[in-house]
A and B are shown apart, each in its own frame.
Chain A
């Protein structure tokens, strides 16, 4: 199974600033995903990061707020822009080694916005 790392593991940011989260995979994968998990809640899909094309965003999430890059098959970034305290959450990236199979998750980035 793929091994996924994320940077940073946690951060405390001020309102109005932006944070970029990096996700690195140890093998080439087609499908990468970004999720948000708010305290005590389950996972909500933000977007699917497609290599070589624009990310596909879920309802309620927009590119201006959560720009995503996917420059190659092993790396992706998620930026949380113009942050507010409501953005405080755990952000997770995951990969799917083949369509319809299980996803493997990174350790998450715990973001606190003050």
Chain B
């Protein structure tokens, strides 16, 4: 069965203090790995899709990378508005496979 593990569970950063969030996964074959941002009381907002090891995607202060067993979401010089819960999700390949979500990393950026 798919397993998606995110770490840390919570992260508190000073504004401008760069860091990385981790998503490790165990699937027999990867169809796609997704990163989402979720603000309190809202639905998840799509950020990135990664399909193969070595792939990287960037958007403003965020950069997502992928290896065969894990993905990182790097946050460079974060601002308070980056505070949110970041969710990782994995879609296993082969027939019909559902998307499995991790439990998320709750990020707080302090001014």
Which residues of A line the B interface, CB within 8 A? 1, 4, 41-45, 48, 56, 58, 92, 94, 100-108, 110
A contact residues around B99 at 8 Å (CB): 45, 103
Stretch at the interface among B14-22, B36-44, B67-75: B36-44
- Cross-chain pairs A/B with CB under 8 angstroms, 8 sampled: A41-B103, A42-B103, A58-B98, A94-B43, A101-B49, A104-B46, A107-B43, A110-B41
Which residues of B line the A interface, CB within 8 A? 31-32, 34, 36, 41-46, 49, 87, 89, 91, 96, 98-99, 101-104
Instruction: Pick the most buried of A4, A42, A44, A45: most chain B CB atoms within 10 A of its CB.
Output: A42
B31 and A43: CB pair below 8 A?
no
B44 and A43: CB pair below 8 A?
yes
Partner among B32, B42, B49, B101 whose Cβ is within 8 Å of the Cβ of A43: B101
